[in-house]
Every structure is written in structure tokens, then in C-alpha cells.
Amino acid sequence: MMQLSASISSSSSPFLGQINTNYRTPRVSVSVKSNGVCKCVAATPQAPVEETAYTTKVSRNVNMSKLQAGYLFPEVARRRSAHMLKYPDAHVISLGIGDTTEPIPDVITSAMAEKSHSLSTLEGYSGYGAEQGDKKLRAAIASTYYGDLGIDESDIFVSDGAKCDISRLQILFGSNVTMACQDPSYPAYVDSSVIMGQTGQFQKDVEKYGNIEYMRCTPSNGFFPDLSTITKTDIIFFCSPNNPTGSTATREQLKQLVEFAKKNGSIIVYDSAYAMYISDDSPRSIFEIPGAKELTFHLGLSLDLASHSPFPLRTREQVAIETSSFSKYAGFTGVRLGWTVVPKELLFSDGFPVARDFNRIVCTCFNGASNIAQAGGLACLSPEGLKAMRDTVGFYKENTDIIVDTFNSLGFDVYGGKNAPYVWVHFPGRSSWEVFGEILEKTHLVTTPGSGFGPGGEGFVRVSAFGHRGNVLEACKRLKQLYK
């Protein structure tokens, strides 16, 4: 059965582009299901062996069967492994899946080591913590990232990462909502929407799932969707700085987005996982935008009958949730720590606070982030930790400059890179997977094909700036040789 599923999961995907599986020996050629028995004939060059596999009576989740092949990054990793098998002596350099490479600063690991050791003592031991996270860490996140934005510690839900929170948010919204996302975008939004049953089938002709509003982001619209053409949806996923295009929405653009959400009664799920990479005056949080957090004072008497207060009733118009992460700031991709902000003023149509339902989801699906990781998070937000994170981000931004300069010098149209660790390179008229394959085959460099992020990414390749300096320089040298 393992062989069977391995073969199935490597099937070609229209969403991911045409996948060439020539280098994999097909292990299973026939699959016949009858009366709970699956017959598989192994098609190795040796004598065929018939295997009989037992099947349960549980039918497959129909939403899972809508998904197109594997999740993008495991597919890229699979091709990288296949390449390494083919060229065992090659020095393969990955500027692909966007995983961090630089060591976690000592001020942060020391705090985690100390916490870890204290767990061996009677006084220091602790078991389950609060599902919403350590109070001190919640307060530190609120004051560091949302200091004067009207967000307080009780709005912060500490988590094991933004990706996990995206799925928990989808569970919160359920299967009856409609959603929009940037095209191209980080695949977790679309895939979690499909899994939740919010979408129709994948439509091969347009390479889109039915019932998702794809907000096309291209160089011609400055990577910000033309909202006048966007159909109203309940939920709008929006990522800035954007993965994969590296573009950042301006204050003016985010004002338009918030206005659009308000007009339609939508909730924005804003992914700010790369906010610390911003070096111009673009907003770092959606809560910087009036309307996403603005305090509005209505005329009228307070309902505080006990005090008979004559002060105006205070309300806040909230349209946004924000999810973020320590992954790309402190190298916590393996440690796992993130957070989601759900302001208590954000309400469903019946007036019920979204945060109360999210709290219920978190308490049901999650038992709190690791206490060691949270100790690390607290150290990240100390003055030394913040400096160390800025240094790490600064290092990757230097890598970005090197990559941008390289592609510019070769005459490519290059986007992103300025406020994000991703460089979005245009290969007009070519298939992303074909370019990915060409670069891998000829230079042993792993990139990410743009079409894996949605149909709007076709013709682009994403180059990640996460890498040791020597590797980035070597990668750029090879690219110069290939495309000179």
C-alpha cells in the first residue's frame, strides 16, 4: 500500500504545472477495487507480483480528493532529492522552499536552554500552559508589534506558527464561507480552504478551484488587486510583504482594502509573517490602517447604567485578524512559534465576538505552544533579542540585494526583494516548472516555480534569500554563467 500511495501522490498536477516523473520507476501499474479489496500489480522489471490490500469501509474525505497532488514545497523537496540521486557529487544549493539557514542568536537559545534545564527541577517544572500562551509573552508581543495600535495582550493568541493558525482560522470560519486570496499567494490559504470544503472542484482549464476569488497580482497592477473587479467574499486572505512576489502593499492600498472589506462586511486575515523585513514606510500591521482598528466615538449616552455616565459610547470598527510568526525573524522555522491577533471588537454578523469562538477552537485543537519555545519568544522581544533579530533580518536582506543585482545585471525583470526575502523573477512566455527544471539541471540550484503559488505565478520563479552568504554568492555566479 505504501508503494501505491507514493505513486498516486506523485501524479501530475495542473496547479503545480506539468510534473515530469520520468526519473521515478512506476512501482504500481494497476489498481482494481472490488469488495473492499484493492489489487495492485507491481510493475517492476522483475516478475510481476500481485499484492492484495485490505481496504476499510471509510470513504475518503471528498475535499481531500479535490486537492491537486502534493503541497508545493514537499514537491520541490522531492525533485531536489531526485536531482541529488541523479548527481550525487553535485553541490546543490537551495534558494527554494524559504527555510531559514542562519543560526538562532545566542541570547535566544540561552533563554531556551535555561528554560529547558529548569524543567528538570521541582521549582522550575511546568506542564500544560495556557492555550492562549504565556501572559508575559502575549504582553510583550502586544507592546512590541502593536504598541499604539489599540491591541492588548488579551487579543494575542500565541501559537506553534502562522501556518497552523491559518488552518485553525479555517476551522473557525467553517465550510460555509467564501474566500478570496491574492494570486499568486502562499499555498496554505487555498489548500486549507479546499480541505475545509469552502471550494468547488479544481477547474483544469483556468487552474483554479471553484468558489475561490483569486485576486490577480501582477507587475501591471503593482501586485495589488484591482478591487473594482473583485467579487465580494466573506474572508479575504492578504499577505504583505507577500510570499511569493516579495511585494508590499502601501498604506493607501491597505486603506482601499480595509474600505473594501467594510463595504462588503468581510473579515481580512492579514499575514504579516515578513513585516520585520520592511524598510520603507509601508505598514507593518493591518491595524495601522484606520478602520481596521480605529476608535470611533458615537454620540449617545453610555449604556453603563450604574454610573449613568454622560460620556459617549465607545465602539471600534474591526474588520481584521492578523497572523504572524517568529520563523523568519529568529530562525524559528524548526522551533515553531507564532501568534494570531483577534481583536475582541471583531464581531460576526450576529454580534458574537470572533475572538470567543477562536478561543474555543484554540482550546479544542491546541494545547498551547511549547514552553521552551515561548521562553525563546520572550528572549526575542528583549532589547538584545530584538537587535539580534534585526541583525538576522539584515543579513538576509543583504542576500536579497545580491540576488536582485544578479538578475538585474542579466537583464531580467525582477520584482520584490526590497521589503521581503523573496525575489520574483520574470521569464516571459515560459513555464515556471520548465525554468525551475532548467536552473536545477544546469546549475544545481533549487528555486520555486511561480505557478505553484497559483495561476498568476506562471512565467515567474521565486528565488529565496535564505542561505549562507557563500552559497548565495556561488548561486549567483552559476546563474550568471547560465544566463549571460
Nearest distance in Å: CB 428, ligand PLP: 25
Nearest distance in Å: CB 98, ligand PLP: 5
Task: Give the residue with the Cβ less far from ligand PLP, 186 or 214.
Answer: 186
Contacts of 284 (CB under 8 A, 6+ apart): 145, 272, 275, 276, 278
Nearest distance in Å: CB 20, ligand PLP: 26
Whether residue 484 contacts residue 410, with contact meaning beta carbons closer than 8 Å, is answered with yes
12, three cell numbers: 501530475
Contacts of 469 (CB under 8 A, 6+ apart): 395, 398, 399
Nearest distance in Å: CB 122, ligand PLP: 33
Task: Give the residue with the Cβ less far from ligand PLP, 115 or 163.
Answer: 163
Task: Give the residue with the Cβ less far from ligand PLP, 40 or 162.
Answer: 162
Nearest distance in Å: CB 96, ligand PLP: 11
Whether residue 336 contacts residue 162, with contact meaning beta carbons closer than 8 Å, is answered with no
Task: Give the residue with the Cβ less far from ligand PLP, 78 or 480.
Answer: 78
Task: Give the residue with the Cβ less far from ligand PLP, 188 or 292.
Answer: 188
Nearest distance in Å: CB 165, ligand PLP: 8
Task: Give the residue with the Cβ less far from ligand PLP, 7 or 448.
Answer: 448
114, three cell numbers: 535555561
Nearest distance in Å: CB 326, ligand PLP: 7
Binding site for ligand PLP (CB under 6 A): 98, 161-163, 186, 239, 243, 271, 273, 325, 327, 333, 338
Nearest distance in Å: CB 187, ligand PLP: 9
Q: Which residue of this chain has its Cβ atom nearest to ligand PLP in the complex?
A: 161
Task: Give the residue with the Cβ less far from ligand PLP, 241 or 385.
Answer: 241
Nearest distance in Å: CB 228, ligand PLP: 26
Kindly report the three-state secondary structure assignment for every residue of the chain. CHHHHHHHHCCCECCCECCCCCCCCCCEEEEEEECCEEEEEECCCCCCCEEEEECCCCCCCHHHHHCCCCCHHHHHHHHHHHHHHHCCCCCCEECCCCCCCCCCCHHHHHHHHHHHHHCCCCCCCCCCCCCCCCHHHHHHHHHHHHCCCCCCHHHEEEECCHHHHHHHHHHHHCCCCCEEEEECCCHHHHHHHHHHCCCCCEECCCCEECCEEEEECCHHHCCCCCHHHCCCCCEEEEECCCCCCCCCCCHHHHHHHHHHHHHHCCEEEEECCCHHHCCCCCCCCHHHCCCCCCEEEEEEECCCCCCCCCCEEEEECCCEEEEEECHHHHCCCCCCCEEEECCCCCECCCCCEHHHHHHHHHHHHCCCCCHHHHHHHHHHCCHHHHHHHHHHHHHHHHHHHHHHHHHHHCCCCEEECCCCCEEEEECCCCCHHHHHHHHHHHHCEECEEHHHHCHHHCCEEEEECCCCHHHHHHHHHHHHHHHC
Nearest distance in Å: CB 188, ligand PLP: 7
Whether residue 81 contacts residue 448, with contact meaning beta carbons closer than 8 Å, is answered with no
Nearest distance in Å: CB 47, ligand PLP: 46
Task: Give the residue with the Cβ less far from ligand PLP, 160 or 345.
Answer: 160
282, three cell numbers: 509601508
Nearest distance in Å: CB 301, ligand PLP: 44
Task: Give the residue with the Cβ less far from ligand PLP, 7 or 399.
Answer: 399
Task: Give the residue with the Cβ less far from ligand PLP, 291 or 450.
Answer: 450
Whether residue 431 contacts residue 473, with contact meaning beta carbons closer than 8 Å, is answered with no
Instruction: Tell me whether the omega of the peptide bond preceding residue 455 falls within 30 degrees of 0, making it cis.
Output: no
Task: Give the residue with the Cβ less far from ligand PLP, 329 or 412.
Answer: 329
